[in-house]
Amino acid sequence: MYEEEFVDEIEPFPLIGERFPEVEVHTTIGKIKLPDYYVEKGKWFVLFSHPADFTPVCTTEFVSFQKNYEKFKELNTELIGLSIDQVFSHIKWIEWIKEKLNVEIEFPIIADDRGELAEILGMISPYKGSNTVRAVFIVDNKGIIRAILYYPQEVGRNVEEILRLVKALQTSDEKGVATPANWPNNELIGDKVIIPPATSIEEAEERKKAAEKGEIESYDWWFCYKKLQ
C-alpha cells in the first residue's frame, strides 16, 4: 500500500515519443511559447540545460554549440539553452563570451530562475545540488520529443554527437531505416543503413531472395543493410 501511494506522488518526466510540455518561457530574446515557437516555423529544436552561467565547462559548451550552429541550421534545427540563472546573468555572460572569446552567441537562453521547467523535465537531481545537470532534449518539427540525454555537471557534452543524433533521426524518418552504432562510421557496415527487420516468414524469405540477387546486403535475413540513396 505504501509503495502504491509513493508511486502516485511521483510526477512523471516527459518521455521519448511524447509531445514536449507546453510552456511559456522568459529568454534572452523575450517570452516565447514552447514547443509552438519552433513547430509553427516547421523547425526541430535542441533544448540543452547547463548548471550555471560564468562557469568554465558551460562556457566551453556554449562556444562549441555556437561554432556548430550553422550545421544545426542546415538540419532545420534550432538551439535553445537553459539554466536557473536570471536573464540579466545570461545577457552579461554572453557579453563576456563575445568580448573575451570573440564568439557571439546567437541562439536564445531560457532564464528558468524558479526552476519550474527544469523540474518538469527532470533536469535537477537531488544528488547533484540545486543546479541543472547537462540535459539535452531533441524535439522534432511536430513538437515530439525524439531523444533525451543526461550528462553529469562535471562532464562537458560532445556537440558533434548531438549533431549526429539529429541527422540520424531525420534520416530514419525520411528513409524508413535505422542507423548502426557510430553511424556513418560503423565498424561493420560503414556509412550504410539498416533495413528494419522482417516481421513475417514471407518477408524474411523476400529478404533472402533480395540478398541473393544483390539488391541488398545482409549477414542474415534479420540483419540486412544497404547504401543510403
- Please give the positions annotated as active site: 58
DSSP the chain: -HHHHHHHHSPPPP-TTSBPP-EEEEEBTEEEEETHHHHTTT-EEEEEE-S-SS-HHHHHHHHHHHHTHHHHHHTTEEEEEEESS-HHHHHHHHHHHHHHH-----S-EEE-TT-HHHHHTT---TTS-SS--EEEEEE-TTSBEEEEEEE-TTS---HHHHHHHHHHHHHHHHHS-B--TTTTSBTTTBT-EEEPPP-SHHHHHHHHHHHHTTSSEEEETTEEEE---
Bridge partner residues of 77 (DSSP): 44
Residue with cell 506522488: 9
Beta strand 109-111 with 77-83: parallel, antiparallel or unpaired? parallel
The number of beta carbons lying within 10 Å of the beta carbon of residue 220 is 10
